[in-house]
Structure 1
Amino acid sequence: MNSERNIKISDFTYELPDERIAKYPLPQRDKSKLLTWQNRAIAEDIFENCTGYLPENAQLVFNNTRVIHARLFFRKETGAKIEIFCLEPVEPGDYQIAFQQTEEVTWKCMVGNSKKWKEGLLSHKFEFEGKSIEMTAAKIAQEGNSFHIRFVWNRGLHFSEIIEHIGQLPIPPYLNRETEESDEETYQTVYAKIDGSVAAPTAGLHFTDAVLGKLKTKNIATREITLHVGAGTFQPVKSETIDGHTMHHEQVEISIDILRSFLEDPENIIAVGTTSVRSIESLYWIGLQLEEKRFDPFHPEVKQWEPYENTAGISIEKALQNIIYFLAENGEKAIRFSTQIIILPGYDFKLIRGMFTNFHQPQSTLLLLISAFLGQDWKRVYDFALANGFRFLSYGDSNLYLK
């Protein structure tokens, strides 16, 4: 356990010149470069050819979350502008129920210029389909650096309609630019369906309908899960060792049908993105909790250090069977839980045999996840990418890693 907690984040850095950060995507998603890593061999191709590297019995797992207009702007009575960044629903706590509210809702939020808003209501007045609408925001609690904000409005609109109308799509802070109209399309995957994320699952941005068609032609199975990506994905590691870093929680939903498909063939699961990796790997630990009768159905979660504190083990098949049995017994169609899992060098991957991903920031938890999968080869991969003109971060080029 100590070896994982004592990992120094300074060992996971590299020089990333600003000009190598892709500020915008390529005009065609699937024309991005593709770096492949298989049996330690590194090669370069174009993303539209990715299907040629996938085994025919692969199960490709996509995160179908959709980025919401999470940035809202309000005014104080003095006229001061305050930004509220919606992170996740609190009351009601279910995303889809929260989006359907027509009078009030409470969200956990980050607040810009929070020192200028010590008390009182904020207001945002706007027109919607000829109706004059006012929404107010009130601080009702503080949680660390975040706040619980109660939004109240008139006219019976759904909360989802309001934020879509008045909110702004959040793009990554390291792009150092304002959101533009083009981001409305390019910062969503073509298969995005379920509202809830405040950041895109960027490995999926390269996929087009044409590439998805090629997968079908090759009879590669495609599965969809949902993990709502939180702002914590951009949270830098500020502690010297990873022991001092607190991972963010993210909400996951995986259907019983997907679990059954995993159980039928757990050997060829390839994740599209680190969000899918964290979701799928978390399943093993949920299954182990059920085995050890310590699963909390009211607050199901995988905690940050659980994989490193629990030396007990069961088979992958048994873990999946436990979840399927639990769902069937309770008449549920999907497992819903929160994951805080951190995947570090030394982690023993349970279900993932390969992954698509982008290039990640130096000294980030996502780079640690990559190094857990590649070992020290992560340095060779990133050196190759820097030497061969690859574009980095959210709008950058793609990688495919296969064990």
Structure 2
Amino acid sequence: MDTRAFDFELPRERIAQAPVEPRDRARLLVRPTGGGEARDSLVRDLPDWLRPGDLLVLNDTRVLPARVQGRRETGGQVELLFLEPVLPGTLLTPESTEVAPGADVWRAMVKPARKIKAGECVACSGGVVARFLEREAESGYWLARLEPGQGGHVGTTTEELMAIAGAMPLPPYIERPATEADTERYQTVYARKPGAVAAPTAGLHLTEDLLQRLDAMGVRQATVTLHVGAGTFLPVTADRIEDHRMHSERFELGEEAAAEVRACRERGGRVVPVGTTSARVLESCALRDPDFERDIVEARAGSTDIFLHPGSGPRVCDGLFTNFHLPKSTLLMLVASFIGVEEMRELYRTAIEREYRFYSYGDASLLWRRPT
């Protein structure tokens, strides 16, 4: 399928630069079951669109303050975005200079990457030092780690030092520096497991009160984990979507969540992931069960590069609660895998005409899977 089918023009003023407060006052565009004209609502009214027996699946990843600014000895500025641990586990000391087995080494995007030399250290805020170890030839990413500077605490890990030297990694279309308010606001209220460099943004709309109201009406909740990587925002550059090489992200779906999906099937409920990340976890764990007309999931953990798009659509998910996504992105293609390309394009035309806010801090949509 031609990638251009997923392109669209978005007025710049439709890109949200700050979130709505409170969280659940964001707008919600609902595409009814079976199609039809999209309905305007609010996230706080989500109980009106769900029913007892449904299952919401939440991604409990927690965003790391993974963007770190440094200064070289020459005075030049350097920015690191720590993506994922490569060799996690070993504590570091200021005296360590070699990469030992199991050392706390991370893969990082670096700007400017070409000027950095292997072994170089740059000074960061809070007395933290970033050490560059090796540049990967294929990806262009650096292997790097954070270390305590002189007088720093011995035995502090890179992840812990991010809390001292780092800032929340807001996506590039938010054209302002991260603030102290973003430290809390760019996390879901149920974020538990650190590891993401981008928020599972659909979940940013949910509040403790809303989740309690849904629970009281009989909508069940299950949690999975997918640590969102920077690749989630990258546009598809291949001419055909089938030629796109999908990024990989770490995930976990436990026995409890798998049991919740099975129970939802047994009672005739609908499985509704909150966000594309939860959908990717569920679909990565899809399992055919002869006792059900639809697939269930099995408990699994690892990395997934699943790419949901028209022709390779959902097997487990019945609906999707999600934000409005970038043109030509894999997230937009995932939306189309639920409702079809033309329906997706019509939905986005409607959202633009009705002045919905787009992207991470924008509004949300609720979609139901097109019957197969």
Please indicate, yes or no, whether the TM-score normalized by the shorter chain is above 0.5: yes
Distance 1:48-1:138 versus aligned 2 partners, 3 A rule: same
**1:177 is matched with which residue?**
176
Deviation at 1:145, TM superposition (A): 2.3
* 2:24 pairs with 1:24: no
Q: For 1:107, what is the secondary structure of its paired residue?
A: strand
Looking at structure 2, the residues matched to 120 and 148 of structure 1 have their Cα atoms a distance apart, in angstroms, of 10
| 1:393 alignment partner, one of 349, 355, 359 | 359
**1:71 is matched with which residue?**
67
CA contact (8 A) 2:124 2:165 kept: no
CA contact (8 A) 2:69 2:166 kept: yes
Deviation at 1:162, TM superposition (A): 1.1
Structure 1 residue ranges without an equivalent (≥5): 1-6, 128-132, 288-312, 325-334
Please show how residues 127-276 of structure 1 align to structure 2 within 5 Å: 127=126, 133-142=127-136, 143-153=138-148, 155-266=154-265, 268-276=270-278
Looking at structure 2, the residues matched to 348 and 361 of structure 1 have their Cα atoms a distance apart, in angstroms, of 19
**1:121 is matched with which residue?**
120
Q: For 2:191, what is the secondary structure of its paired residue?
A: coil
Looking at structure 2, the residues matched to 155 and 221 of structure 1 have their Cα atoms a distance apart, in angstroms, of 45
Distance 1:83-1:43 versus aligned 2 partners, 3 A rule: same
* 2:343 pairs with 1:372: no
Distance 1:344-1:78 versus aligned 2 partners, 3 A rule: same
Looking at structure 1, the residues matched to 159 and 82 of structure 2 have their Cα atoms a distance apart, in angstroms, of 12
| 1:83 alignment partner, one of 79, 94, 108 | 79
Deviations 1:61-115 (A, max 9, x none): 00011110111123322222211110110002xxxx57xx454511111111111
Distance 1:197-1:86 versus aligned 2 partners, 3 A rule: same
Deviation at 1:319, TM superposition (A): 7.2
**2:309 is matched with which residue?**
344
Looking at structure 2, the residues matched to 192 and 57 of structure 1 have their Cα atoms a distance apart, in angstroms, of 24
Q: For 1:174, what is the secondary structure of its paired residue?
A: coil
Distance 1:43-1:231 versus aligned 2 partners, 3 A rule: same
CA contact (8 A) 2:62 2:187 kept: yes
Looking at structure 2, the residues matched to 85 and 316 of structure 1 have their Cα atoms a distance apart, in angstroms, of 46
Distance 1:184-1:125 versus aligned 2 partners, 3 A rule: closer
Looking at structure 2, the residues matched to 177 and 136 of structure 1 have their Cα atoms a distance apart, in angstroms, of 24
**2:31 is matched with which residue?**
37
Q: For 2:180, what is the secondary structure of its paired residue?
A: coil
What is the total number of aligned residue pairs between the two structures? Answer: 348
Moved more, 259-268 or 337-346: 259-268
Structure 2 residue ranges without an equivalent (≥5): 94-102
Deviation at 1:369, TM superposition (A): 0.7
**1:302 is matched with which residue?**
none
Deviation at 1:55, TM superposition (A): 1.8
Deviation at 1:248, TM superposition (A): 0.6
**1:308 is matched with which residue?**
none
Deviation at 1:9, TM superposition (A): 1.0
CA contact (8 A) 2:26 2:205 kept: yes
CA contact (8 A) 2:51 2:218 kept: no
Looking at structure 2, the residues matched to 262 and 26 of structure 1 have their Cα atoms a distance apart, in angstroms, of 32
Moved more, 69-78 or 165-174: 69-78
Deviation at 1:199, TM superposition (A): 0.5
State the TM-score, normalizing by the size of structure 2: 0.88
Distance 1:126-1:236 versus aligned 2 partners, 3 A rule: closer
Looking at structure 1, the residues matched to 364 and 220 of structure 2 have their Cα atoms a distance apart, in angstroms, of 20
State the TM-score, normalizing by the size of structure 1: 0.81
Deviation at 1:134, TM superposition (A): 4.6
Deviation at 1:371, TM superposition (A): 0.8
Say which structure is richer in helix. 1
CA contact (8 A) 1:140 1:150 kept: no
Deviations 1:293-322 (A, max 9, x none): xxxxxxxxxxxxxxxxxxxx775969758x
Deviation at 1:126, TM superposition (A): 5.4
Deviation at 1:35, TM superposition (A): 0.6
Q: Return structure 1 stretches of 4+ with deviation > 4 angstroms.
A: 313-321
Looking at structure 1, the residues matched to 140 and 74 of structure 2 have their Cα atoms a distance apart, in angstroms, of 24
Deviations 1:203-231 (A, max 9, x none): 01111112112112102111111100000
Looking at structure 1, the residues matched to 239 and 124 of structure 2 have their Cα atoms a distance apart, in angstroms, of 46
Deviation at 1:141, TM superposition (A): 4.0
Report the AA paired with residue 365 of structure 1.
T
Q: For 1:366, what is the secondary structure of its paired residue?
A: helix
Distance 1:238-1:316 versus aligned 2 partners, 3 A rule: farther
Distance 1:268-1:164 versus aligned 2 partners, 3 A rule: same
Looking at structure 2, the residues matched to 260 and 178 of structure 1 have their Cα atoms a distance apart, in angstroms, of 42
| 2:319 alignment partner, one of 354, 365, 380 | 354
Looking at structure 1, the residues matched to 185 and 9 of structure 2 have their Cα atoms a distance apart, in angstroms, of 27
Report the AA paired with residue 306 of structure 2.
I
CA contact (8 A) 2:147 2:156 kept: no
CA contact (8 A) 2:65 2:166 kept: yes
